[in-house]
Amino acid sequence: MTQPNPGSRPLQEADPECYQIGVDEFRRESEGLELIASENHTSRAVREAMSTYLTNKYAEGYPGARYYGGCEVVDRAEDLARKRILQIFAAQHANVQPHSGAQANQAVYQALLQHGDPVLAMDLNHGGHLTHGHPKNFSGIFFKFTGYGVNPETGLIDYDVVRAKARELRPRMIVAGASAYPRAIDFAIFGEIAREVGALFFVDMAHPAGLVAAKLHPDPVPHADAVTFTTHKTMRGPRGGTILCREEHKKKIDSALFPGVQGGPLMHVILAKAVSFGEALGPSFITYQTQVKKNAQRLAASLLALGFRLVSGGTDNHLVLIDCRSKSITGRDAELALHKAGLTVNKNLIPGDPEKPMVTSGIRVGTPAVTTRGLKENEIDQIARWIDAAIAVRADDTKLAKIRAEVGDFCRMYPIP
């Protein structure tokens, strides 16, 4: 009789300590409300795909041209993911191998720029991203980034300022996209500015990608040389990245990613990306994204009614950026108070922030995860009330625990997938 392989034991039995970590994270997500704008709850199908045997396979190269034998099955996963993402976005080429958004961005820079090239991108302090030129990030180390920001009065990107900076700087590349910008970005204007000054145009749409897929946010693909996004934010897939580009950049970008930036792709994650792209092609995805946006708008309206100041006064996407000074609290202390009340958010710099990044004057609040749980406008009003109440009683742990208990009871009605 064949003996079961000793490696076939379930996790719970093989390594109870690690099993418990998985259980505890499930509980943490289930018993609180996830309001971090860049997070979401994956479907069971996406998580199952990530635990398949594809994790065992080395597949350096691309489908049909690998450096390893035995890739005939994983090739199907990558081909399917590429086919599905090109049904969602009308790009000429897709690369689904990036392990993350940062590595996707690194490949784009490495493919299209020379070290030392000037690049114009959104300032991190105004909502940009580390990989858009932070001095300690590879982007800021290898390329000469100049930042553009938002108008201090309106909180909106001032496209005239972007144009003036582009004319003066003559960058090799203009980057659009942000981590904490609550408004729609006009990629057509950016594309026009890039063409006018002879720059390449690159868009990092990590945050609004799901809204773009559902046609609820302007689409950068027709205007940009390359577009990257992460698959785990509004796209609600596994943790990872994807690059879309024009045919003319395909070879350079593929080879910049592999062998330039990465080695073997994570084929189990690529299978899970294919699953999530399949979900995004289904009709319920548009309903979901529509609700994400409605919920963010309702959250903005409720918070304004409760006396909060919001950067730009509202939202066009999935997030709101709260200026915590309107409640005389720092972002760090607001994040802590909300955490104690069962609401997970992140502190965030706001435009012109006088505080350091570990303190900040703002918090960023997003609706993708709570919308996945089925919350609609009325429940969003309740979340706004809890945010307000938790900040008001921030010094009183007993009162914060009481809110946490209410949040916990509420959460039981909305199980995570």
Nearest to ligand DSN of 103, 289 (CB atom)? 103
Q: Is 179 in the site for ligand DSN (CB under 6 A)?
A: yes
Q: Is 140 in the site for ligand DSN (CB under 6 A)?
A: no
Structure tokens at 256: 């910049």
Given the DSSP bridges, would you call strands 118-122 and 173-176 parallel, antiparallel or unpaired?
parallel
* Cα–Cα distance for residue pair 301/182, rounded to 1 Å: 13
Q: Which of 78, 204, 254, 316 is catalytic?
A: 204
List, in order, residues 6 or more apart from 376 with CB less than 8 Å away: 291, 294, 295
Based on its alpha-carbon atoms, the radius of gyration of the chain, rounded to whole angstroms, reads 22
| Strand-strand pairing, 319-323 and 362-366 | antiparallel
User: How many other C-beta atoms lie within 10 A of the C-beta of residue 216?
Assistant: 20
> Which residues touch 25 (CB under 8 Å, ≥6 apart)?
none
Closest residue by beta carbon to ligand DSN = 38
User: How many other C-beta atoms can be found within 10 angstroms of the C-beta atom of residue 247?
Assistant: 9
Q: Is residue 104 a contact partner of residue 273, using CB atoms and an 8 Å limit?
A: no
Determine contact, residues 316/330, Cβ cutoff 8 Å: no
Q: Which of 42, 131, 228, 230 is catalytic?
A: 230
Site residues for ligand DSN, 119-138, by CB under 6 A, read 129
| Nearer to ligand DSN among residue 38 and residue 231 (C-beta) | 38
Active site residue 131: no
Q: How many residues bind ligand DSN (CB under 6 A)?
A: 4
Chain positions 387 to 416 lying near ligand DSN, rule: CB under 6 A, are none
62 catalytic, yes or no?
A: no
| 38 versus 97: smaller Cβ distance to ligand DSN | 38
What minimum distance in Å lies between the beta carbon of 4 and ligand DSN? 41
Site for ligand DSN in 70-109 (CB under 6 A): 101
Q: How far is the CB of 129 from ligand DSN (least distance, A)?
A: 6
Please count the helices (runs of H) and the strands (runs of E) in the chain: 16, 15
Shorter beta-carbon distance to ligand DSN: residue 42 or 179: 179
Select 220 or 278, whichever has its Cβ closest to ligand DSN: 220
Q: Is 204 a catalytic residue?
A: yes
Q: Annotated catalytic, 409?
A: no
Q: How does DSSP assign 164-189, residue by residue?
A: HHHHHH--SEEEE--SS--S---HHH
Say which of 58, 79, 309, 399 is annotated catalytic: 58
Q: Is 360 near ligand DSN (CB under 6 A)?
A: no
Q: Which of 57, 233, 236, 340 is catalytic?
A: 233
User: Contacting ligand DSN (CB under 6 A), which of 38, 139, 242, 367?
Assistant: 38
Active site residue 239: yes
60 given a catalytic annotation: yes
Q: What's the closest the beta carbon of residue 364 comes to ligand DSN, in angstroms?
A: 8
Tell me the DSSP string of 82-111. Answer: HHHHHHHS--SEEE---SSHHHHHHHHHHH
Q: Show which residues are catalytic.
A: 58, 60, 204, 230, 233, 239
Q: Which residues of this chain interact with ligand DSN, rule CB under 6 A?
A: 38, 101, 129, 179
